[in-house]
Amino acid sequence: MSAYEPVIGVEIHVQLSTRTKMFCGCELSFGDPPNTHTCPVCLAHPGVLPVVNEEAVRRALLIGLALGCEIAPRSIFHRKNYFYPDLPKAYQISQFDIPICGRGEFRALREDGSELLVGITRAHLEEDAAKLTHAGGRRAGAAESVVDFNRGGTPLVEIVTEPDLRSPSDVALFLRQLRQTLLFLGVSDCSMEEGSMRADANVSIRPVGSHEYGTKTELKNMNSFRFLERGIEAEIARQEEIVGAGGRVSQETVHYEPDTGHITSLRSKEESHDYRYFPEPDLVPIAPDPAWVEELRAGLPELPLPLRRRMVGEMGLSAEDAEVLTEGPELVVYFLEAAALADPKACANWIRGELRAQLREAGVEPWQSKVTPAHVAALVGLLDAGTVTVPAAKEVMAEVIVSGEDPADVVESKGLGAMDEGDLAAVVAEIVAANPDQAQQLRDGKNKVIGFFVGQTMKRTGGRADPQSVQRLVREAVRGD
């Protein structure tokens, strides 16, 4: 047990997946040729003015509402001034002391069922910088650097948390579930790899029991939850070592090298910029109509945490079912549509199990396949009514995946319906008669032999027999001999 307690807060940058940029009409693009999505505004030509993207405001409000933030009746933009080639105006339009979303909180669920409560300090709107590429991949001393302005001006929401996190694993848990919530809101692609979601962590340590904060360092720009978790672990260890040896942690920006596991210092905060923030005179305040905000609040989708609780409590799903099915908004919607039409637990089993297994080879997700939620529900209904057996149902599903036909029609056209009791009894009687030795063994109490009869029957009926019924009929036939 360490004598120190880590104190961690995070800042998350989320690129909004709007059609156009934050302050101009250029379309957002990923992977298009460099500098093909630019205009005088996002290239900061003389005389141009920014105009706020209303859809970006809407999405920022959705994020704020989902995080329970206070929505500012009137928020303003500021200019953050610094020179760099990725910032054509030499200032970033951001929000400073009056952000669109104020204090809120986020609840995450740990695996053991306990809750992690993280205070949200604020969430504000700003624009992304352009993309710089340095020859040789290094900034310092690069012979040449090139700028792609396609990304410049992409709408960003920066979410800042309180220093409420106490372990690297909680940070990862929080970020994963926050990401899930953002995906549910449909506001961003939230791809850490592509940089549409980026997280920085502010890390400090203090003696266990202390209520004062230690000097924090900023761990920059990790491109996966895993690296972020490891990076924080490494940074905590580094700080413990310094403090343990009687030293002082200095306030600086640090970087985690995933290959070596080492922490390196990027730049000292002491030499950091004076950004000379001042109110952006080219823009008027954002003052969303309260009726609009209420409309957005009412229209929020059901968020992962309450949804998972409902799945377990009302639908009889296991915690694991709920976890798996809420991993993304598409899968949830798919499941909920099926569950509205048939037994939720059975739908969950079929979607999680057989459907995904059969689709895996083609690399297709359920909502992308020809199998609709209504098909899943219909199949569950057929099973429930005893119209098909489980093995036949799997066969039906395989057929629906290919043809997109209704399951009932597939059962009909392929003759996959369960046999009626009388026909099945006749088949079983025939097989028992044809195998007197095995029948005798069964009479003698060698129960294992029953598997032989079931297998033979299934083979003969092409899977249209219910194995349970077959067992019962075999015993009856053997006794009746």
Partner 1 sequence: MGLRDLTAAGQIAAVLAGETSSEELLDAHLAAIAADDVDAFLAVDAEGARARAREIDAMPERPPLAGVPIGIKDALSVRDVVTTAGSRMLEGFRPLYTATCVARLEAAGAVVVGKTNMDEFAMGSSTENSAFKNTLNPWDHGRVPGGSSGGSAAAVAERQVPWTLGSDTGGSIRQPAALCGIVGMKPTYGAVSRSGLIAFASSLDQVGPFARTVEDAALLLRHMVGRDPMDSTSLDWPGEIAAPTATDLSGMRVGVVDELMGDGIEPGVRAAVDAALGTIEELGGTVVPVSLPSALSGLATYYVLAPAECSANLARFDGVRYGPVAPAANLLDQYETTRGDLFGPEVKRRMMLGTFALASGYYDQYYGRAQRVRTLMVREFAQAFEKVDLLASPTSPTVAFPLGDRTADPYAMYMADVCTIPVSLAGLPAISIPCGLADGLPVGLQLAGPAFSENALLGAAHALEGALAFDTRPPGLVT
Query: Given the rule CB under 5 A, which residues bind Zn ion?
Result: 24, 26, 39, 41-42
How many separate helices (H) and strands (E) can be counted in the chain? 16, 13
In this complex, which beta carbon is closest to partner 1, that of residue 48 or of residue 341?
48
Per the structure block, which two tokens stand in for 116? 């992690």
Hey, is 386 helix, strand or coil? coil
In angstroms, give the least distance from the CB of 277 to partner 1: 8
d(CA 144, CA 127): 25
**Least distance from C-beta 96 to Zn ion, angstroms?**
23
Which residue, 21 or 352, has its beta carbon nearer to Zn ion?
Answer: 21
Residue 278 binds which of Zn ion, partner 1, none (CB < 5-8 A, kind-dependent): partner 1
* C-beta of 80 vs 122, nearer to partner 1: 80
Q: In this structure, are strands 217-222 and 252-257 parallel, antiparallel, or unpaired?
A: parallel
Length of the chain: 481
Write each residue from 128 to 157 as x if it is in contact with partner 1 (CB under 8 A), else as -, in one continuous string: -----------------x-x----------
Q: Of 59, 79, 124, 464, which one interacts with partner 1 (CB under 8 A)?
A: 79
What is the C-alpha radius of gyration for the chain, rounded to an integer number of angstroms? 30
Mapped onto helix, strand or coil, the DSSP state of residue 220 is strand
Residue in 81, 224, 318, 441 binding partner 1, rule: CB under 8 A: 81
Our finding on whether 50 is near partner 1 (CB under 8 A) is: yes
CB 266 within 8 A of CB 255: yes
For partner 1, the closer of residues 126 and 399 by Cβ is: 126
Burial degree of 177 (CB within 10 A; 0-12, 13-18, 19+)? buried
Of 274-303, which residues contact partner 1 (CB under 8 A)? Answer: 274, 276-278, 281-284
Q: Cβ of residue 357: shortest distance to partner 1, in angstroms?
A: 53
- How many residues touch partner 1 under the rule CB under 8 A: the total is 29
For residues 145 and 349, which CB has a smaller minimum distance to partner 1 in the complex?
145
Of residues 88-127, which lie at the interface with partner 1 (CB under 8 A)?
A: 88-91
Which of 81, 49, 71, 122 has its CA nearest to residue 284? 49
Which partner from the list partner 1, Zn ion, none does 89 bind, CB cut-off 5 to 8 Å by kind? partner 1
| 3-class state of residue 449 by DSSP | helix
Rounded CA gap, 174 and 299, in Å?
24
CA distance 152 to 39: 11
Q: Binding partner of residue 267 among Zn ion, partner 1, none, CB under 5 to 8 Å per kind?
A: none
Dist. CA 130–CA 145, nearest whole Å: 12
Q: How far is the CB of 268 from partner 1 (least distance, A)?
A: 17
Footprint on this chain of partner 1 (rule: CB under 8 A): 40, 43-52, 79, 81, 83, 85, 88-91, 145, 147, 274, 276-278, 281-284
